[in-house]
Amino acid sequence: MKLRDLKLRARALFNPATVERELDDELAFHVECETRKLIAAGLGAAEARRRARARFGPVPLAADQCRDERGISFFETLARDVTFACRTFRRTPLAALTVISTIALGLGVVTVAFTYFNMFFFRVDAVRNPDELFALERPTRPGYHGHVPFTRTEYEAIRRGTNVFTDVAAARPSIATRINGRAARGMFVSGNFFDLLGVTATRGRTLTQTDNENSGRPVVVLSELGWEKFFATDPAVVGHELLVNGQPYAVVGVMPKDFRGLSQEPQDYWAPLALLDQIRHAEKPNEVWVDVIGRLKPGTSTPAATAALTTWALAEPAIKKPENGALQLYLRESRGVISEDRGEAMVVFMPILFAFGLILMIGCANVANLLLARGLSRRREIGVRLSLGATRSRIVRQLLTENLLMALAAAGLGFLISRALLAGSVHMALSILPPEFVESMDVVLPPGDWRVWTFLFGGSLVATVMFGLAPALQSTRLGLVRAMRGEMTRDSRPGRVRQMLIGSQVTASALLLVCAGVFLRSAYSAATADVGIRADDALVVTGMTESARPALLHAIEQHASIGLVAGSWPQPMSAGESVDATVGDTTLGLGYRLVSPEYFDLLGINLIRGRLFAPEERSPAAGVVVISDAVAQRVWPNRDPLGQMIRLDATTEENGDPPVPRQLFAVIGVVRDVHSALTMPSFAYSGIYLPIGAEQPKTSLVLRVHGNPDTARRTLLDALTKVDPALGEITTMRMMARLEGAVLEVIFWIAVMLSSLAMALTVSGLFSVLSYLVEQRRKEIGVRMAIGAAPRDIVRLVVSQSMRPIAIGVLAGGGLAAVTAIVLLSLPAAEMLGATVHAFDPLAYVVSLTVIVATCLIAAFIPARRAARISPIATLRAE
């Protein structure tokens, strides 16, 4: 495009009056010349003018073609269409409002899902050139998923020895701590972390290398979230002190809101890595594992860097090698969004996004039906315009512009709806979830950034095509003369499109309702399953500082609401570890658990036969075990397990977990099985109990409380954090038991919300379409009744019209649900879900589909009744 061209276009666009006048002058001049020529040839003035005009042809047409050459007709047409659309809206505001609010609802709902999607996948952290940032990882074996984290010594070696990075930082995210007694999540980072990411603090300063030298005062940089949480956004926060796990830390800065430190979980604060030793007593200094994050030098490719790093690591003695010596480092994008197992995460997210998108689809179908009906009433207008010379594509374009305008308005409204829904969901989560969950978890409203807006814009374009194209094409397909007369013609009755729309709505609703049914049944069976544990009056204390254990035990015994204390490793309701057990000459892996003698009584795990641990049996060295019924059945079927000997392999002592000695154990008792609602099959065997005492390191404490466990939990938390400011968590057993089913419950509620929305939209759509049709066929129905049709026949006539799409929709929806279930369950990522969700529960299918058919029939019946009440005399007289 040349400059001259641009100039001409700009002139036409911004100075249209002049350009139009010039065009008129030019064309008029031509006719004038022609006329004079004809007069000179001897014609009379009037005749000459007539001929000149005839020769030129229609002036407006030529002018229009000249305008097209300007290359701005697109904008001109658009402006005209927009003005026209606005006039149409003003004339029929109710129709426009219905369309906008329906589409806005659909867009708002799908945007809720996208906002979460965005948070996990697209919302790259606000750091300098995030594309250059990579986490260095060491797979356990080449090509393996799992990886061995680097220690701090190894990090130092990487920083000194490699040359593919401009700099390398170390970070340990999401360390659970307590600040001023409240649960807080912190990230411990090397001194160059903030420089490497290229971020600055909004208040005060970031951390530096000097903060990381052990000499100085402990300091901390708060996130916006932490600033709000602990200082209520006090502007004079810098210089204040915080007690992190009981140690005083000085606040030196506050980070901007968008900065997350390359982590997906919100962090409350960042502290120097050197201080991690104070927080994590158990781990040996320099063996604390860290994430290694480097900024690749510009122009370095990832494969080249990986190769160089691997070669370097193989030769470097400081880097630990796997046992087989095969070492292959790799670089993972580190931008604060999911980069590992993206595929698996997508498997979870795509169906959710799809399910939310169905609402938009149903809304679009509703609107399309509405527009089809409006197309009939606008037929005269469209007919007039066609006969005045407008092309069909021109009218389609005008109708689509009108629809796009409504969709864009809906996108704006949809954003507000999505924010309201998100705020509502967070609020609901906060009130439903147990307090111990909320305290340790920062629930933040996912931001609606420019990506969400882009999504909404794209969504409104897609919606325009979905709801606007078919009606626009349909309503412009008409015979001119008949349309002008306002006659109904057969070819313009959009029956087939309408039936398809209803069918697809019913399909989508059926799909969603079946999902709701399946999850309801699964959540119900999970909630009502007998886990075999008395969970109502127990608390679990985990993660205490070992040096404070005696004082804590003392404080617990002194506490008024505590009845009984037991120890357990690992904590109750967790999956536990497995040990090789040998009986005779067969060896098998069995889950095991170390518990103190009080454990069985406290959690109500009943003895079936034999005896439980005696009070003095408080160590595995006692050589006795209690087994669960399932283990007894499996290892000694048809025999008495009591007095049998079982050999357990020694477990390796990692992180100071309590060891199991390699020796023979005598079975002294059999107890009832403990199940988990979610992991029933694998858990049933985890039933070898070995004795231990509550005073042993690493055991978690199980307490029986009197009165309300939530109140007891709160008072106990106050009392115990005074003794041990770094105390991990106190949880009610009830909530641990509930949490297992909570996942299903959440999915169930989402499915219920979506399917009820879908049903409401479908039913209202069906209802309005049938009502409209009855109105259209008033005359016909009147004639039918006049020649003897009974009201019952009329009802049947109207209802039967909707029967086919409903039947097809129900079958397709049910089938689609089953196919989706098959596809999803075949994916490895959904394995766990398959064990708990009864995806082919026949009852769920039958009930859901019946509900749909019933509601649709009711929706169809009301207009049908109205049709049956039409008075034949009145209709015939109206003609």
Partner 1 sequence: MSRQTIPDLLPGTLDLLILRTLQTDPMHGWAISERIQQISNDVLQINQGSLYPALHRLEHQGWIEAEWRVSELGRRAKYYRLTPSGRRQLAVEAGEWDRMSAAIDRVMKFA
- Report which secondary-structure segment, H or E, holds 628: strand 624-628
Q: Which is nearer to partner 1, 10 or 822 (CB)?
A: 10
DSSP string, 796-852: HHHHHHHHHHHHHHHHHHHHHHHHHHHHHHHSGGGHHHHHH--TT-HHHHHHHHHHH
Shortest CB 73 distance to partner 1, Å: 12
CA distance 808 to 804: 6
Q: Which is nearer to partner 1, 70 or 521 (CB)?
A: 70
Nearest alpha carbon to residue 712 among 411, 436, 467, 471? 436
Shortest CB 51 distance to partner 1, Å: 12
- Applying CB under 8 A, does 546 fall inside the site for partner 1? no
Shortest CB 21 distance to partner 1, Å: 11
Q: Which is nearer to partner 1, 52 or 207 (CB)?
A: 52
Identify which range of 28-36, 195-203, 374-382, 723-731 contacts partner 1 by CB under 8 A: 28-36
- Applying CB under 8 A, does 145 fall inside the site for partner 1? no
Contacts of 638 (CB under 8 A, 6+ apart): none
Please report where in the chains the tokens 């897609």 appear, as a residue.
462
- Applying CB under 8 A, does 26 fall inside the site for partner 1? yes
Q: Which is nearer to partner 1, 69 or 557 (CB)?
A: 69
Q: Which is nearer to partner 1, 65 or 200 (CB)?
A: 65
Q: Which member of 34, 241, 258, 442 binds partner 1 (CB under 8 A)?
A: 34
- Applying CB under 8 A, does 580 fall inside the site for partner 1? no
CA distance 839 to 818: 8
- The dihedral of CA 552, 557, 563, 564: what is its sign? positive
Convert 154-169 to b/e letters by CB count within 10 Å (16 or more is b): bbbbbbeebebbeebb
Q: Which is nearer to partner 1, 2 or 877 (CB)?
A: 2
Bond before 570 cis per omega within 30 degrees? yes
Crossing angle of helices 342-377 and 733-776, in 10° steps, is 20
- Applying CB under 8 A, does 43 fall inside the site for partner 1? no
The single-letter code of the amino acid at 679 is: T
Q: Which residues pair with 151 in a beta bridge?
A: 289
- Applying CB under 8 A, does 209 fall inside the site for partner 1? no
Q: Which is nearer to partner 1, 34 or 439 (CB)?
A: 34
| CB-side neighbour CA atoms (13 Å) of 182 | 13
CA distance 644 to 664: 10
Q: Give the DSSP letter of residue 213.
A: S
Shortest CB 63 distance to partner 1, Å: 8
Q: Which is nearer to partner 1, 29 or 84 (CB)?
A: 29
Q: Which is nearer to partner 1, 72 or 109 (CB)?
A: 72
CA distance 460 to 103: 8
DSSP string, 760-790: HHHHHHHHHHHHHHHHHTHHHHHHHHHTT--
407: number of Cβ within 10 Å: 30
- Applying CB under 8 A, does 17 fall inside the site for partner 1? no
Q: Which is nearer to partner 1, 2 or 87 (CB)?
A: 2
Q: What residues numbered 217-276 form the site for partner 1, per CB under 8 A?
A: none
Helix, strand, coil percentages for the chain (3-state, nearest 5)? 55, 15, 30
Shortest CB 81 distance to partner 1, Å: 23
Q: Which member of 33, 326, 416, 588 binds partner 1 (CB under 8 A)?
A: 33
Tokens of 158: 């990487």
Q: What residues numbered 828-867 form the site for partner 1, per CB under 8 A?
A: none
Q: Which member of 9, 159, 280, 321 binds partner 1 (CB under 8 A)?
A: 9
Shortest CB 25 distance to partner 1, Å: 7
| Total binding residues toward partner 1, as defined by CB under 8 A | 28
Shortest CB 50 distance to partner 1, Å: 15
Grouping H, G, I as helix, E, B as strand and the rest as coil, residue 430 is helix
CA distance 105 to 335: 33
DSSP string, 727-768: --EEEEHHHHHHHHHHHHHHHHHHHHHHHHHHHHHHHHHHHH
Radius of gyration of the chain (CA): 37
- Applying CB under 8 A, does 4 fall inside the site for partner 1? yes
Contacts of 14 (CB under 8 A, 6+ apart): none
Q: Which is nearer to partner 1, 34 or 156 (CB)?
A: 34
Q: What residues numbered 58-97 form the site for partner 1, per CB under 8 A?
A: 58, 61-62, 65-66, 68-71
Q: Which is nearer to partner 1, 27 or 857 (CB)?
A: 27
Q: Which is nearer to partner 1, 30 or 779 (CB)?
A: 30
Identify which range of 32-40, 160-168, 284-292, 531-539 contacts partner 1 by CB under 8 A: 32-40
| CB-side neighbour CA atoms (13 Å) of 404 | 14
CA distance 817 to 819: 6
CA distance 777 to 867: 9
Phi, psi of 628 (to 5 degrees): -85, 160
Identify which range of 4-12, 402-410, 441-449, 725-733 contacts partner 1 by CB under 8 A: 4-12
CA distance 231 to 217: 20
Identify which range of 27-35, 202-210, 220-228, 545-553 contacts partner 1 by CB under 8 A: 27-35
Q: Which member of 32, 131, 616, 695 binds partner 1 (CB under 8 A)?
A: 32
Q: Which member of 5, 131, 695, 718 binds partner 1 (CB under 8 A)?
A: 5
- Applying CB under 8 A, does 666 fall inside the site for partner 1? no
- Applying CB under 8 A, does 36 fall inside the site for partner 1? yes
Q: Which is nearer to partner 1, 7 or 160 (CB)?
A: 7
Q: Which member of 14, 18, 22, 854 binds partner 1 (CB under 8 A)?
A: 22
Shortest CB 44 distance to partner 1, Å: 19
- Applying CB under 8 A, does 13 fall inside the site for partner 1? no
CA distance 628 to 434: 31
Q: Which member of 11, 13, 16, 30 binds partner 1 (CB under 8 A)?
A: 30
Shortest CB 71 distance to partner 1, Å: 7
- The dihedral of CA 764, 766, 768, 774: what is its sign? negative
Q: Which is nearer to partner 1, 2 or 145 (CB)?
A: 2
- Applying CB under 8 A, does 56 fall inside the site for partner 1? yes
- Applying CB under 8 A, does 39 fall inside the site for partner 1? no
Q: Which member of 14, 18, 24, 29 binds partner 1 (CB under 8 A)?
A: 29
- Applying CB under 8 A, does 25 fall inside the site for partner 1? yes
Shortest CB 6 distance to partner 1, Å: 10
Q: Which is nearer to partner 1, 22 or 47 (CB)?
A: 22
Shortest CB 67 distance to partner 1, Å: 9
Shortest CB 16 distance to partner 1, Å: 15
- Applying CB under 8 A, does 10 fall inside the site for partner 1? no
Q: Which member of 57, 235, 239, 325 binds partner 1 (CB under 8 A)?
A: 57
Are the CB atoms for 779 and 879 separated by under 8 Å?
A: yes
Q: Which is nearer to partner 1, 37 or 662 (CB)?
A: 37
Q: Which is nearer to partner 1, 69 or 640 (CB)?
A: 69
Are the CB atoms for 8 and 16 separated by under 8 Å?
A: no
Q: Which residues bind partner 1 (CB under 8 A)?
A: 2, 4-5, 8-9, 22, 25-27, 29-30, 32-34, 36-37, 55-58, 61-62, 65-66, 68-71
